[in-house]
């Protein structure tokens, strides 16, 4: 039964194949097929997640080859958390794009590329072999370049070429690091490399860590590796931005950095200082840049950079509280970021613009959309009942406890800046009364996924309630804290 | 050792092409060179001088095979990596054509409508 962990990825790949083969002429059938494939995959990932959280990790060796030869695929609580989040958000976004993508031509190919991107993301999450992670990362990345350029307008093409060239630099660094890992230790398995790296000199380790961290920080868009992200994410169609900003940056960047720093380089604890530095820079830079943006999508994108900074800071602090903060922030952030991008997509669908100067009095013309948008903004700004408040609080407490008082103060300041730019947006765009408000609400198919996401943003803090936390987040934190890969190297397949 | 230095040289030539050149086509060629350098490094790590193909025949002792056979894994991995490079280059070439249609130039400095 262990091979079932590849099922979510297989459904996406099969779905992409079938749509491109059979239904590429028919938009309606392609959309319905894509929704049903993603729904199937989301249900599968939830079932797999429940199994992993109750009975422990599932390990499978590709093709039935036994250790040490087989390529290890594993679903542990950490990857299960990311897997469930990815597929649930993907399902809501696919339902949303059934209506939203009607204004584009060749939408069946949109679904094909979208499913391939999701397949790559699912593949990253179950791989325990660093070359496998690289391959799936490229599958997801190449699909995402094409999705960014999907509209084929001049600005979208320009954003896509920046994104592609920067991504290629990251790819090269990662491939160099993988080649050197294989040369130094003779293995590509993450678990075996962790044991073998104890024998390497600090110079070798620093070189490898530097290459890997630079490569994946470029994917995660940490400052100073962020320059491609504002263009790429703000120019993509709204559903694509929602997945790229909500999940892709976290899966391709954050999740792999967690694996690299917290697990591979246990022998090099100093790497956390670099993460702390990048994180603090991203927080401040993203927050300040977001303040001056006229284009609302760009504002949200800079906010993404700022919030990824919080995750990196939590990762740099480490320890139980730091890791808990990172995971909680990731969950709350993924829901609210996806919600905000879908929301601005709905505004664009009805009003045809995302410039804050041209949008006035949304509160009167689109009340439901405004309600969901405000929920997302309050969520990211960290207003108490939402999950982001608790995650930021945990990261700040962790920073104080670990002795990084300056970082803690910085976190509070950036939280205030975040609230500041969202309130400014509320003032100029949402609450600015128009003379003759004409009600024109977005279609219901756009509103329902946003409503579900808004509900999720509201209740995501429930993961921290004692009794639920022990069964979900604590298990994932345990993986980040002291991961023993004994399962992979010796022992039974469960 | 000289081979590793040559690969490093090749890598930096490609990097120079990517960073210093303004023409998109030259940037794509620079990317290709960088990709070749990383692939060559990977293959070189598994290579042995006077090595044989990694096929164990019946008249061959296992010790001789271990000593002589080249490591086949890097070669298999590089095949995958070449395919990924191909995807990058094919997509970028298509993108360059589209960009030329919209902007009428390959100069990366003139393709600059996005700011902020």
Task: Give residue-wise pLDDT tens across range A260-298.
Answer: 776 777 778 888 888 899 999 999 999 999 988 889 999
At A332, list the tokens: 């709350």
| pLDDT recorded at residue B116 | 59
The β-bridge partners of A58 are: A75
At A207, list the tokens: 């070189």
| pLDDT recorded at residue A144 | 94
| pLDDT recorded at residue A90 | 95
Q: Is the pLDDT of residue A438 over 80?
A: no
Q: Are B18 and B31 in contact (CB under 8 A)?
A: yes
The β-bridge partners of A73 are: A60, A127
- From chain B, the residues in CB contact with A215 under 8 A are none
Query: A66 Cβ partners below 8 Å, 6+ apart?
Result: none
At A77, list the tokens: 């609580």
- Report residue A125's pLDDT band, with 50, 70 and 90 as the boundaries: very high
**pTM score, whole prediction:** 0.94
A477/A280 Cα distance (integer angstroms): 22
A213/A220 Cα distance (integer angstroms): 10
- Report residue A487's pLDDT band, with 50, 70 and 90 as the boundaries: low
Q: Is the pLDDT of residue A489 over 70?
A: no
| pLDDT recorded at residue A433 | 67
| pLDDT recorded at residue B83 | 93
- The percentage of residues in chain A with a pLDDT greater than 90, rounded to a whole number, is 51
Place of tokens 């199937």: A40
Place of tokens 């993509």: A236
The β-bridge partners of A61 are: A72
At A146, list the tokens: 């094409």
| pLDDT recorded at residue B114 | 79
Query: A161 Cβ partners below 8 Å, 6+ apart?
Result: B24, B92, B95, B96, B99, B111
| pLDDT recorded at residue A188 | 86
| pLDDT recorded at residue A71 | 86
* More reliable by pLDDT, A455 or A2: A455
Cα-flanking dihedrals φ and ψ of residue A111, to 5°? -65, -40
Q: Is the pLDDT of residue A185 over 50?
A: yes
Whether ipTM tops 0.95, in short, is: no
Q: Is-cis flag, bond preceding A224, omega within 30? A: yes
A171 in B contact zone (CB under 8 Å): yes
Q: Which of A138-147, A377-386, B6-15 has the lowest mean pLDDT?
A: A377-386
Task: Give residue-wise pLDDT tens across range B47-95.
Answer: 888 888 888 888 888 888 888 888 888 989 999 999 999 999 999 999 9
- From chain A, the residues in CB contact with B88 under 8 A are 142, 164, 168, 171
| pLDDT recorded at residue A491 | 47
Place of tokens 């109750």: A54
Task: Give residue-wise pLDDT tens across range A53-88.
Answer: 988 888 888 877 777 778 888 888 899 999 999 999
A441/A350 Cα distance (integer angstroms): 8
| pLDDT recorded at residue A346 | 92
Q: Which domains does chain B have, with CATH numbers?
A: 1-114 (1.10.287.3510)
The β-bridge partners of A88 are: none
At B18, list the tokens: 């990517």
A376/A304 Cα distance (integer angstroms): 13
- Sign of the dihedral defined by the CA atoms of residues A333, A336, A340, A342, in that order: positive
Contact B84 A157 (CB under 8 A): no
Q: Is the pLDDT of residue A492 over 70?
A: no
Contact B42 A175 (CB under 8 A): yes
A392/A328 Cα distance (integer angstroms): 9
A253/A271 Cα distance (integer angstroms): 16
Interface A-B, measured as beta-carbon pairs within 8 A, has a size of 85
Taking phi first (over 0 means left), then psi (-120 to 50 degrees means alpha), and beta for anything else, what does residue B57 get?
beta
Residue whose C-alpha is closest to residue A60's, from A153, A129, A106, A157: A129
Place of tokens 């459904």: A11
What are B's interface residues with A at a Cβ cutoff of 8 A?
18, 24, 27, 31, 34-35, 38, 41-42, 45, 73-74, 77, 80-81, 84, 87-88, 91-92, 95-96, 98-99, 102-103, 111-114, 116
CA atoms within 13 A on the CB side of A466: 0
Contact A142 B73 (CB under 8 A): no
Task: Give residue-wise pLDDT tens across range B22-55.
Answer: 999 999 999 999 999 999 999 888 888 888 888 8
Query: A254 Cβ partners below 8 Å, 6+ apart?
Result: A220, A308, A311, A312, A315, A326, A330
A271/A282 Cα distance (integer angstroms): 17
* More reliable by pLDDT, A30 or A473: A30
Chain B CA closest to residue A131: B77
Task: Give residue-wise pLDDT tens across range A383-407.
Answer: 888 888 999 999 999 999 999 999 9
- Report residue A493's pLDDT band, with 50, 70 and 90 as the boundaries: very low
- Report residue A485's pLDDT band, with 50, 70 and 90 as the boundaries: low
Between the alpha carbon of residue A333 and those of residues A104, A239, A374, A463, B63, the distances in Å are 29, 16, 15, 14, 56
Contact B95 A295 (CB under 8 A): no
The total of other beta-carbon atoms located within 10 Å of residue A120's CB is 26
Chain A, 222-261: which have a CB under 8 Å from a chain B CB?
230-231, 235
The β-bridge partners of A129 are: A189
| pLDDT recorded at residue A69 | 77
Q: Per-residue pLDDT averaged across A45-51, rounded?
A: 93
Q: Which of A121-125, A196-200, A465-469, B82-86 has the lowest mean pLDDT?
A: A196-200
Among A159, A164, A168, pick the best mutation site for testing chain B contact (most B Cβ within 10 A).
A168
- The percentage of residues in chain A with a pLDDT greater than 70, rounded to a whole number, is 96
- From chain A, the residues in CB contact with B97 under 8 A are none
| pLDDT recorded at residue A494 | 41
Between the alpha carbon of residue B101 and those of residues A151, A232, A256, B83, B106, the distances in Å are 15, 20, 38, 28, 10
Q: Are A283 and A414 in contact (CB under 8 A)?
A: yes
- Report residue A244's pLDDT band, with 50, 70 and 90 as the boundaries: very high
Contact A152 B98 (CB under 8 A): yes
Q: Is the pLDDT of residue A51 over 70?
A: yes
Q: Are A242 and A463 in contact (CB under 8 A)?
A: no
Chain B CA closest to residue A137: B84
Task: Give residue-wise pLDDT tens across range A223-234.
Answer: 888 889 999 999
Q: Which of A9-13, A103-107, A343-347, B31-35 has the lowest mean pLDDT?
A: A103-107
A111/A119 Cα distance (integer angstroms): 12
* Of the partner residues A146, A182, A295, the one whose CB lies closest to the CB of residue B45: A182
Q: Are B106 and B24 in contact (CB under 8 A)?
A: yes
The β-bridge partners of A355 are: A295
Taking phi first (over 0 means left), then psi (-120 to 50 degrees means alpha), and beta for anything else, what does residue B53 get?
beta
Task: Give residue-wise pLDDT tens across range A376-386.
Answer: 999 898 888 88
B8/B34 Cα distance (integer angstroms): 10
- Report residue A483's pLDDT band, with 50, 70 and 90 as the boundaries: low
Q: How many residues does chain B have?
A: 116
A161 in B contact zone (CB under 8 Å): yes
């Amino acid at each position: 039964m262990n091979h079932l962990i590849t099922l979510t990825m297989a459904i996406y790949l099969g779905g992409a194949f079938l749509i491109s083969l059979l239904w590429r002429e028919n938009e309606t059938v392609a959309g319905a097929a894509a929704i049903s494939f993603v729904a199937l995959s989301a249900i599968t990932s939830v079932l797999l997640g429940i199994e992993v959280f109750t009975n422990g990790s599932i390990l499978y060796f590709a093709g039935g080859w036994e250790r040490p030869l087989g390529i290890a695929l594993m679903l542990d609580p950490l990857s299960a958390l990311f897997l469930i989040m990815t597929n649930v958000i993907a399902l809501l976004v696919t339902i949303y794009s059934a209506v939203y993508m009607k204004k584009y031509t060749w939408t069946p190919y949109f679904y094909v590329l979208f499913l391939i991107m999701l397949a790559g993301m699912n593949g990253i999450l179950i791989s325990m072999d660093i070359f496998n992670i690289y391959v799936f990362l490229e599958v997801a990345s190449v699909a995402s370049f094409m999705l960014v350029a999907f509209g084929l307008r001049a600005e979208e093409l320009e954003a896509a070429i920046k994104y592609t060239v920067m991504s290629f630099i990251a790819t090269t660094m990662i491939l160099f690091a993988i080649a050197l890992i294989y040369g130094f230790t003779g293995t590509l398995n993450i678990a075996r490399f962790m044991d073998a790296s104890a024998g390497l000199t600090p110079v070798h380790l620093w070189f490898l860590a530097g290459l890997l961290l630079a490569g994946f920080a470029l994917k995660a868009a940490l400052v100073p590796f962020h320059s491609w992200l504002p263009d790429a994410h703000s120019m993509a169609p709204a559903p694509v931005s929602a997945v790229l900003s909500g999940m892709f940056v976290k899966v391709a960047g954050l999740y792999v950095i967690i694996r690299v720093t917290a697990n591979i380089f246990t022998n090099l604890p100093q790497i956390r200082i670099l993460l702390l530095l990048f994180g603090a820079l991203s927080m401040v830079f993203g927050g300040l840049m977001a303040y001056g943006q006229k284009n609302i999508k760009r504002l949200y994108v800079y906010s993404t950079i700022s919030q990824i900074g919080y995750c990196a800071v939590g990762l740099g602090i480490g320890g139980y509280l730091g890791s808990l903060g990172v995971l909680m922030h990731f969950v709350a952030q993924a829901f609210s970021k996806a919600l905000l991008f879908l929301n601005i997509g709905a505004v664009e669908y009805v009003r045809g613009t995302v410039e804050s100067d041209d949008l006035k009095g949304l509160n009167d013309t689109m009340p439901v959309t405004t309600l969901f948008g405000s929920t997302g903004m309050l969520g990211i700004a960290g207003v108490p009942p939402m999950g982001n408040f608790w995650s930021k609080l945990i990261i700040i407490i962790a920073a104080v406890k670990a002795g990084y008082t300056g970082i803690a103060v910085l976190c509070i300041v950036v939280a205030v800046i975040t609230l500041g730019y969202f309130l400014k947006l509320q003032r100029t765009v949402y609450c600015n009364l128009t003379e003759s408000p004409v009600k024109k609400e977005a279609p219901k198919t756009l509103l329902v996924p946003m409503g579900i996401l808004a509900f999720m943003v509201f209740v995501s803090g429930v993961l921290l309630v004692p009794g639920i936390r022990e069964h979900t987040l604590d298990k994932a934190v345990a993986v980040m804290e002291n991961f023993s890969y004994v399962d992979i190297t010796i022992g039974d397949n469960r | 050792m000289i081979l590793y230095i040559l690969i490093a040289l090749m890598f930096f030539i490609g990097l120079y092409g990517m960073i210093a050149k303004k023409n998109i086509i030259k940037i794509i060629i620079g990317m290709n060179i960088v990709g070749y350098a990383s692939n060559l490094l990977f293959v070189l790590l598994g290579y042995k001088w006077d090595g044989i193909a990694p096929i164990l025949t019946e008249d061959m002792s296992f010790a001789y095979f271990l000593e002589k056979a080249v490591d086949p894994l890097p070669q298999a991995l590089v095949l995958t990596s070449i395919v990924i490079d191909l995807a990058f280059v094919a997509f970028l070439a298509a993108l360059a054509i589209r960009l030329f249609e919209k902007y009428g130039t390959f100069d990366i400095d003139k393709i600059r409508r996005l700011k902020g």
